[in-house]
Amino acid sequence: MIPVRRLLLVAAIATAPCVAAAERSKVLLDTDIGTDIDDAWALGFVVRHDDFDVLGVTVTDGDTAARARLALKLLRVAGRDDVPVAVGRAIPVPAERAFESRQLEWAEDFTARRPIAKPAADFVVDVVRKHPGAVTLIAVGPLQNVADALRREPRLPQLVRRLVLMSGCIEGWPGKPGPIPEWNVVQAIADAQLVYGAGFPLTIVPLDATMLVQLREDERERVRERRTPLTSALESLYRLWLKSPASRMTLHDQLAVAEAASPGAYFDEIRTLAIRVDDAGVTRVDPAGKPVRVCLGPKRDLLLDDYLRTLGRVRTARP
């Protein structure tokens, strides 16, 4: 006769993978993939992270239909056709931003998958209503989709678990002191003002931190050497993005993904500051602003080691 204690132990071991899967963080990624290279490499980070249950990807800013094709193709390469992609409202692209097209060309003829019919903002609202208090929304582009979702559902700040942004600039970085208008904010100032003022459980990873983390050539070589379908695709997009042999990727968006995965683990300093967005798109510390958790002092080597190891993982089936 098998002792009851042993039977209980066997049962616990047998069910452990299902428990672990249930405990993975539910995430949505909102991205302007196709502009800077870090968006594509951040999407790779999200879909390869063991602790994420990826509920979807939404695309924002500019030619959102073209951005969606890029996201869909990269997800197909990564073996993640299970991740839905929703398209945000299109924004006219000024002529000076034509540099975006090179990455977008990589997927211009991709038709094997299509985005879902539901607009990005509606999709965000539906997902967080289905999983109240459980979804971490990671937004690494201009905030049109998040703002539109908030307009549709004013309770959004209470429905999400966290909102993590790559956004803003608080004090600057060596050689660039003082707050400056940051890209994701200044491309949609009114939307950023709405989001920052809504009372979300909000964390930002600003330029103060991200500008300190660039990919070295030996680290890029680590990714190239893996030769998985995903890492090969990321290398192809990197080559399309390069403006000169000296160009180096700054890991803006990857730091926001890392913070969403392990809050506080990759930063030496976390401050809670009252922040508002002014009419010039500057994220200012102001007593009239809402409290925001601000990540500073990135632990570069720890982040890069974990990040590159995650990118190199081979896709495995999930329960």
Q: 23 pLDDT band (50/70/90 cuts)?
A: confident
- Residue 92 carries which DSSP code? P
- How far from 61 is each of 30, 187, 263, 268, CA to CA, in Å? 10, 8, 27, 32
- Mean of the per-residue pLDDT values of the chain: 91
* Average pLDDT rounded to a whole number, residues 281-310: 97
Residue, of 75 and 8, whose pLDDT is higher: 75
Going by pLDDT thresholds of 50, 70 and 90, the confidence category of residue 313 is confident
Rg (CA), the chain: 20
Q: What is the mean pLDDT of residues 10-38?
A: 71
Please answer whether residues 60 and 144 qualify as being in contact, where contact means their C-beta atoms are separated by less than 8 angstroms. yes
Six token digits for residue 198: 């809504």
Q: What is the mean pLDDT of residues 170-198?
A: 96
| CATH, domain range 25-311 | 3.90.245.10
pLDDT in the model for residue 79: 97
Q: What is the pTM of this model?
A: 0.91
Does pLDDT of 134 surpass 50?
A: yes
Model pLDDT, residue 315 = 63
Q: Which of 95-99, 145-149, 168-172, 203-207 has the lowest mean pLDDT?
A: 95-99
What is the CB neighbour count within 10 angstroms for residue 315?
14
Residue 231 clears pLDDT 50, i.e. is over it: yes
Q: How far is CA 312 from the centre of its chain?
A: 18
The secondary structure element, H or E, covering residue 287 is none
Mean pLDDT of 245-256: 96
Nearest 5°: phi and psi at 313?
-70, 150
Q: Identify the weakest region by mean pLDDT among 92-101, 136-145, 283-292, 308-317.
A: 92-101
Q: What is the pLDDT of residues 93-133, one digit of tens each?
A: 776 665 557 899 999 999 999 999 999 999 999 999 999 99
209, 267 contact by CB (below 8 A): yes
pLDDT above 80 for 170: yes
Residue 46 pLDDT: 98
Average pLDDT over residues 247-275: 98
Domain coordinates in residue numbering, the chain: 25-311
Mean pLDDT across the stretch 225-247? 94
Q: What is the pLDDT confidence band of residue 11, given thresholds at 50, 70 and 90?
A: very low
What's the pLDDT score for residue 3? 47
Q: Round to whole Å and give the CA distance between 225 and 83.
A: 26
Tokens of 61: 């800013």
Looking at residues 134-147, what average pLDDT do you find? 98
Give the mean model confidence (pLDDT) for residues 63-78. 97
Contact in structure between 136 and 160 (CB atoms under 8 Å): yes
Given pLDDT bands bounded at 50, 70 and 90, which one contains residue 2?
very low
The stretch 170-192 carries a mean pLDDT of: 95
